[in-house]
């Protein structure tokens, strides 16, 4: 490109401002990311402390359950756990003494336990909560806090601690199961898996960037930029939730993290890719920067607002755990969008001054031209092949089997008495609610 053409590149005021204040902009974003993660607990910790209930409070079933509890003056929440006793032989007096001790310990914990349906402890109703072979019995415990709330999760943990603290007689085992423990396990497993998923995601992104740009420095600069954007988004959302402005759940924290990584990486690729294209056309570094800014800002803004608007619509759903996905995820995407529009060009400016972000290959390589030509020339066959590839994935998903009913084996071995509902599906956390 000639010098005259280079001079004609549009230089907007915002682009000039970001380029002139590149270092302060980077420092401001680093400070935001650092302070929000130092002064406020981590997002997962805040999510566990501020977790909202999962059931819609105006659902007829939820209202009916609460009405029953209030009329009989038994409980005020929708959280319930089932304690199952199983013996190698028919449960005898030692199992009853163990059961009575459990019920007594549970009744003493009035903070976490609202009501105990002590049917097995009453000879009149014992047969209704015992299996036909006499080797299994159950007791239902109503817990404080609605399912999914922090208090409910704490109540589940308290019940598990009580059950684990009472030694059972030989040949007898006790398990904690039910809807509330299952949800608590899901939350705990989801929180534990966030770090692993985040690490694997960054590893895949690093390999992809290294293959595409063939530059270790370019890959590292882009990853650092995405990390700062992610830390800022997580920190700001955690601060808002910590001070009670918004609610959170495990689902919202996981979705926010993945959305921020995906959006930050995409916007970084837009910026660096457009800069490389301009440099390959012969523009100097400053002209390439302005060409990049002019060609990507509207794309980034449109993409970010589309994603933020889409996830924000979840706030209008009735289920609370969908509602908590909307606002936190939208705020996280907007923070990532703002960082991409300011931090991304600032990092590019600083890196280009030291020659760190120069293209290592021609972005207009012949293979991409050949691919584009083939798509234009044979759109029908290529569409058919693409659909066949997608169909293979769909067919493969149909042959998979989910072990959603692998837990409740106890109720299969010990048939309940007539009219007694079987215990709910057990969660799979070792040591607390395995299949009995």
For residue 9, pLDDT over 80 is answered with no
Which of 358, 420, 402, 334 has the alpha carbon at shortest distance from 136? 420
**Residue 393 — very low, low, confident or very high, per pLDDT cuts 50/70/90?**
confident
- 248 pairs with which residues across the strands? 51
pLDDT per position as a tens digit, 136-176: 999 999 999 888 888 999 999 999 999 999 999 999 999 99
Average confidence (pLDDT) over 14-32? 94
Task: Output the average pLDDT for the chain.
Answer: 85
Average pLDDT over residues 296-323: 90
The count of other CB atoms within 10 Å of the CB of residue 207 is 11
Dump pLDDT digits (tens) for 81-115: 999 999 988 888 999 999 999 999 999 999 999 99
Nearest to 225 by CA among 357, 384, 68, 353: 357
pLDDT tier, 411 (very low <50, low <70, confident <90, very high otherwise): low
Band the pLDDT of 238: cuts 50, 70, 90.
very high
pLDDT of residue 148: 84
Q: What is the pLDDT of residue 52?
A: 81
Contact between residue 249 and residue 190 where contact means Cβ atoms under 8 Å apart = no
Phi, then psi, of 27 in degrees rounded to 5: -65, -40
Non-local (6+) Cβ contacts of 226 within 8 A are: 202, 205, 261, 264, 265, 268
Q: What is the pLDDT of residue 303?
A: 93
Closest to 25 measured CA to CA, from 353, 341, 358? 341
Confidence of residue 408 (pLDDT cuts 50, 70, 90): low
pLDDT at res. 311: 92
Would you say 403 and 391 are in contact if contact means Cβ atoms under 8 Å apart?
Answer: no
Q: Which residues contact 360 (CB under 8 A, 6 or more apart)?
A: 213, 214, 215, 218
Higher pLDDT: 347 or 194? It is 347
Strand pairing category for 113-117 and 80-87: unpaired
Average pLDDT over residues 258-281: 92
Instruction: Quick: pLDDT tens for 171-210.
Output: 999 999 988 998 888 888 877 777 888 889 999 999 999 9
Q: Is 320 helix (H, G, I), strand (E, B) or coil?
A: helix
- The pLDDT-based confidence of 29 (bands split at 50, 70, 90) is very high
| Cα Rg of the chain, angstroms | 29
pLDDT band of 387, cuts 50, 70, 90: very high
Query: pLDDT tier at 419 (50, 70, 90 boundaries)?
Result: very low
What domains does the chain contain, in order, with CATH numbers?
Answer: 3-39+214-383 (1.20.1640.10), 60-183 (3.30.70.1440)
> In this predicted structure, what is the pLDDT of residue 265?
94
Reported confidence tier of residue 415, pLDDT bands at 50, 70, 90: low
Sheet bearing 113-117, strands edge to edge: 113-117, 136-143, 80-87, 172-177
Residues with Cβ < 8 Å from 36, sequence gap 6 or more?
A: 231, 232, 234, 235, 236, 238, 239
More confident residue, 39 or 248: 39
3-state secondary structure at position 400: coil
- Per-residue pLDDT tens over the stretch 46-82: 888 888 888 888 888 888 888 888 888 888 888 899 9
Q: Please report which confidence band the pLDDT of residue 3 belongs to, taking 50, 70 and 90 as the band edges.
A: very low
**What is residue 434's predicted lDDT score, i.e. its pLDDT?**
43
């Amino acid at each position: 490109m000639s010098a005259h053409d280079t001079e004609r590149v549009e230089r907007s005021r915002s682009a000039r401002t970001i380029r002139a204040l590149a270092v302060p902009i980077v420092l401001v974003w680093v400070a935001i990311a650092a302070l929000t993660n130092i002064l406020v607990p981590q997002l997962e910790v805040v999510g566990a402390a501020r977790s909202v209930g999962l059931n819609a409070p105006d659902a007829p079933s939820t209202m009916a359950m609460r009405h029953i509890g209030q009329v009989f003056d038994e409980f005020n929440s929708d959280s319930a756990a089932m304690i199952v006793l199983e013996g190698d032989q028919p449960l005898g007096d030692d199992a009853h003494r163990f059961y009575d001790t459990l019920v007594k310990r549970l009744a003493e914990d009035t903070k976490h336990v609202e009501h105990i349906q002590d049917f097995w402890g009453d000879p009149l109703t014992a047969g209704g909560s015992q299996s036909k072979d006499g080797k299994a019995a159950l007791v239902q415990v109503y817990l404080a806090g609605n399912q999914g709330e922090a208090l409910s999760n704490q109540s589940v943990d308290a019940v598990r601690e009580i059950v684990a603290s009472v030694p059972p007689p030989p040949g007898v085992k006790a398990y904690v199961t039910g809807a509330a423990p299952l949800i608590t396990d899901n939350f705990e497993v989801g929180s534990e898996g966030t770090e692993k998923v985040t690490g694997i995601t960054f590893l895949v992104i690093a390999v992809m960037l290294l293959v595409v740009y063939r530059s270790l420095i370019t890959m590292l600069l882009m990853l650092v930029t995405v990390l700062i954007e992610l830390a800022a988004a997580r920190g700001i959302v955690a601060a808002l939730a910590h001070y009670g402005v918004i609610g959170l759940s495990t689902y919202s924290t996981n979705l926010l993290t993945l959305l921020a990584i995906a959006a930050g990486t995409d916007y970084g690729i837009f910026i660096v890719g457009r800069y490389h294209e301009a440099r390959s056309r012969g523009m100097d570094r400053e002209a390439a920067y302005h060409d990049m800014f002019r060609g990507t800002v509207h794309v980034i803004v449109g993409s970010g607002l589309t994603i933020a608007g889409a996830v924000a619509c979840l706030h209008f759903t009735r289920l609370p755990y969908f509602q908590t996905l909307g606002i936190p995820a939208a705020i996280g995407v907007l923070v990532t969008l703002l960082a991409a529009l300011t931090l991304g060009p600032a990092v590019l400016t600083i890196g280009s001054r030291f020659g760190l972000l120069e293209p290592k290959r021609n972005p207009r390589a012949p293979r991409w031209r050949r691919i584009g030509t083939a798509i234009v020339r044979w759109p029908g066959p290529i569409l058919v092949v693409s659909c066949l590839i997608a169909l293979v994935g769909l067919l493969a998903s149909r042959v998979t089997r989910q072990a959603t009913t692998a837990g409740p084996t106890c109720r299969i071995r010990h048939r309940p008495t007539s009219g007694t509902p079987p215990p709910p599906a057990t969660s799979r956390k070792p040591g607390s609610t395995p299949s009995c």
